[in-house]
Amino acid sequence: MLDFFIGHYAYWFVFILMAIGLYGMTVKNNLVKKLIGMTIFQVSIILFFVAAANKWGATVPVADRANGPIDPTRFINPLPHTLMLTAIVVGVATLGVALALVIAIFKRYRTLDENLLLEEMRKEDDTE
Amino acid sequence: MILSNSPALAPLSLLLAAILIPMVAFRRRWLAFPLALSAAAFATGISVVNLVRVLGEGTIHYHFGGWIPPIGIEYVLDPLSAFVTLVINTISLLVLVHARRSVDAELPDRAMPYYAVVMLMLTGFNGIVLTGDFFNLYVFLEISSLALYGMIAVGNKKSPVAAFRYLIMGTVGGSFYLLGVGFVYMTTGSLNMADVARIAPTLYHQPALVAALALMVTGLGIKMAIFPLHGWLPDAYTYAPSASSALIAPVGAKVGVYAIIRVVFYVFGVDFVRHSLPLTEILAWLGAIAIIYGSIMAIAQREMKRMLAYSSVAQIGYIGLGIGLANPYGIIGAVLHVMNHALMKACLFLVAGNYRLKLGHSTIPRLDHRVRKRMPWTTAAFTVGALSMVGVPPTVGFFSKWYLALGTIQNGRWLFLAALLISSLLNAIYFFRILEKVYMKPLEGETPADNDITRNEAPVSMLTPTLILGTALIVIGLLNAVIVTGIIRLIVPPGM
């Protein structure tokens, strides 16, 4: 049992990060704090992929025949890393759109508190 | 040359238009709309060619850059993906024709970037449907989602808040899906769907793969807006500009539906799902609850777009129920309803757009018989759409409900059959209250004399797509047997 926890310690950290991120996105009222939670959540998934690709005693996947025949066990799996480059780009784009929305919301309502925003919107619905 | 590359042409031409529009139309603003329209028309034409090819030649695999999967990314054209891309592109083309006037009216300065974003959204949708690679699907999912956030946020004062809430939900969905992809890759060592489909059936005792399935379906369920993950949908559809809601509502959630059908039945397979977790059972129950909940909420709405949004929640419930039944009738009903609901919702949202342009509102209590006198054709299209939503034969709505009902009977699930029938009744309530307002004469002396009402119909560019969709609801309803036997029967997944 203990081996299971110690052997997978990287994943436990990742899942704790994930929980923190989800908590921030769902429970926090301030929109910027929600975005901080979102970033933590996305980063935890990136770390999950990278941790899974890791291999003890392996090195950068650059094949050089001068070092003898190519042995796949000596190299870290590069595919998850490249996938995560794309995921990082997606994350940055999402954050950019989200921040633009936050600015638009603040200009219109002068607040970033979700409860106040919803209350304000309900009032407007009633007056329409 | 063109023919051999036809699977890749639809998303690529749309992506090219998304890049070209800001470059070419930056100085010449009037060019944005023709460019967008011609890209959408080209994509529609290519989808027709693709469907014909698939029906003639069988499944087509297109390898990007000549790289053989599982190393390279492939596009897979099978009857399901060819059919869904054709539905998406045709409906978007019709709505785009309609969108010009409403975009000019509602977003006068922002038409050029708006069309570019619409093209990005369509690129994403086409890519999601065509790709045969898990990670590629994630990328297209996020491309389309980012475009959707932008399209929603340019609406009225409240729309950025709706877009932000959708963004948070959508990102959770996308991230869950990505996590699921991670689990799949770690257990099977492949990201290619066909490859995973070969490996997965031997691994159904692997908890990691079961977790992957659960994560992916949850993530895609948010995009599909299945109850109780539908929270973002009503606000997003209501506060978005008319053009956006008419573009998003018919096809937006359907790509989520498509991705769930693809992942659950084609990649993991019927046997895997039956042996691992009660996923289909959960989907069926959620679908049944969504049908009742969405219909009741729709009755309570005063704003037409909001009512249509809640009705979308209910209609997605039908599709969820069809998937959850996991028998051939259920799948036929679900896929047929993907098309039928797209047609009906497009028609009804275009009507709402016409009302908004000409009457300045689409609030239900303020509609009366003068609306019909002013806009007889639009109101006629609304009537056909409403009858189809209720499920009156020979409109399309009847036939998908028929197949779903057959599916519930085949599984002996009488409770689900009851939900289907009750919801038809509820649909009748919320549509007939509008029909009553526009067709019945009010009581004497309640409203001013109506001889001063002049005919003030929506412009031709808006009326034509509305009427085409209204006619299609009946024509496709009559032709449904051809579509079901010719295309949708081929879609029933293996092992069912």
| Binary contact (A101, B172; C-beta < 8 A) | no
Cβ atoms B404, B420 nearer than 8 A: yes
* Distance of residue A59 Cα from the nearest chain B Cα, in angstroms: 19
| Binary contact (B160, A38; C-beta < 8 A) | no
Cβ atoms B272, B196 nearer than 8 A: no
pLDDT at B445: 59
Where along chain B do its domains lie?
278-445+453-496
List the single residue in B153, B168, B179 with the smallest CB-CB distance to A104. Answer: B153
**B174 pLDDT exceeds 90?**
yes
| Binary contact (B158, A121; C-beta < 8 A) | yes
**B449 pLDDT exceeds 70?**
no
User: Which of A22, A83, A88, A107 is the mutation pick for testing B, counting most B CBs within 10 A?
Assistant: A83
User: Which of B168, B229, B304, B307 is the mutation pick for testing A, counting most A CBs within 10 A?
Assistant: B168
Looking at per-residue confidence, does A54 or B382 come out higher?
A: B382
The label of the residue with tokens 């059908």 reads: B261
Chain B within 8 Å of A84 (Cβ-Cβ)?
Answer: no
pLDDT at B452: 60
Where along chain A do its domains lie?
2-61+74-127
Chain B positions in Cβ-Cβ contact with residue A31 (cut-off 8 Å): 164
**B343 pLDDT exceeds 60?**
yes
Q: What is chain B's mean pLDDT, rounded? A: 89
Q: Using CA atoms, how far apart are residues B357 and A15, in angstroms rounded to an integer? A: 50
B363 phi, psi to nearest 5 deg: -90, 130
Q: Which residue of B has its CA nearest to A88?
A: B139
pLDDT at B451: 58
Q: Using CA atoms, how far apart are residues B10 and B150, in angstroms rounded to an integer? A: 22
Query: Helices B269-276 and B207-224 meet at what angle, rounded to 10?
Result: 100
| Binary contact (A94, B171; C-beta < 8 A) | yes
Cβ atoms B446, B413 nearer than 8 A: no
Q: In sequence order, what DSSP letters do the residues of B83-94 get, joined into one string?
A: HHHHHHHHHHHH
Q: What is the pLDDT of residues A76-93, one digit of tens each?
A: 888 899 999 999 999 999
Q: What is the pLDDT of residues B460-470, one digit of tens each?
A: 888 999 999 99
Q: What is the pLDDT of residues B95-119, one digit of tens each?
A: 999 998 888 888 888 888 999 999 9
Looking at per-residue confidence, does A59 or A67 come out higher?
A: A59
Share of chain B above pLDDT 70, in %: 97
| Binary contact (A38, B168; C-beta < 8 A) | yes
**B222 pLDDT exceeds 80?**
yes
pLDDT at B446: 58
Highest mean pLDDT among B65-79, B164-178, B267-281, B366-380: B164-178
pLDDT at B3: 76
Interface of A with B in 13-72 (CB under 8 A): 22, 25, 31, 34, 38, 41-42, 45, 48-49, 52
Q: What is the pLDDT of residues B54-81, one digit of tens each?
A: 998 888 999 988 888 888 899 999 999 9
List the single residue in B149, B164, B172 with the smallest CB-CB distance to A105. Answer: B164
pLDDT, mean of residues A31-41: 95
| Binary contact (B179, A45; C-beta < 8 A) | yes
Query: In which element (H, E) is residue B489 found?
Result: none
Cβ atoms B254, B83 nearer than 8 A: no
**A66 pLDDT exceeds 90?**
no
Residue B452, number of CB atoms within 10 A of its CB: 7
Chain A positions in Cβ-Cβ contact with residue B157 (cut-off 8 Å): 108, 124
CA distances from B341 to B95, B334, B347, B388 (A): 14, 10, 10, 9
Chain A positions in Cβ-Cβ contact with residue B163 (cut-off 8 Å): 101
**A3 pLDDT exceeds 80?**
no
List the single residue in A38, A79, A117 with the smallest CB-CB distance to B171. Answer: A38
Q: Using CA atoms, how far apart are residues A26 and A37, in angstroms rounded to an integer? A: 9
pLDDT, mean of residues B139-168: 92
Cβ atoms B238, B162 nearer than 8 A: yes
Report the CATH fold assignment for A2-61+74-127. Helix Hairpins (1.10.287)
Amino acid of residue B261: I
User: Which of A90, A110, A111 is the mutation pick for testing B, counting most B CBs within 10 A?
Assistant: A90
pLDDT, mean of residues B368-380: 86
**B450 pLDDT exceeds 60?**
no
pLDDT at B28: 84
Looking at per-residue confidence, does B30 or B408 come out higher?
A: B408
- Counting one residue from chain A and one from chain B, the pairs whose CB atoms sit within 8 A come to 70
pLDDT, mean of residues B450-471: 82
* Distance of residue A2 Cα from the nearest chain B Cα, in angstroms: 19
Q: Using CA atoms, how far apart are residues A97 and A12, in angstroms rounded to an integer? A: 31
| Binary contact (A94, B146; C-beta < 8 A) | yes
Q: Using CA atoms, how far apart are residues B414 and B406, in angstroms rounded to an integer? A: 11
* Distance of residue B143 Cα from the nearest chain A Cα, in angstroms: 8
User: Which of B121, B161, B361 is the mutation pick for testing A, counting most A CBs within 10 A?
Assistant: B161
Kindly state the DSSP code that residue B77 receives in the 8-state scheme: E
pLDDT, mean of residues B161-179: 94
pLDDT at A127: 72
Cβ atoms B125, B86 nearer than 8 A: no
Chain A positions in Cβ-Cβ contact with residue B138 (cut-off 8 Å): 87, 90
Retrieve residue A46's tokens. Answer: 């990136």
Cβ atoms B390, B411 nearer than 8 A: no
Q: What is the ipTM metric for this complex?
A: 0.93
Q: Which of A10-24, B26-40, B432-446 has the lowest mean pLDDT?
A: B432-446
Burial of B322 (0-12, 13-18, 19+ CB in 10 A): buried
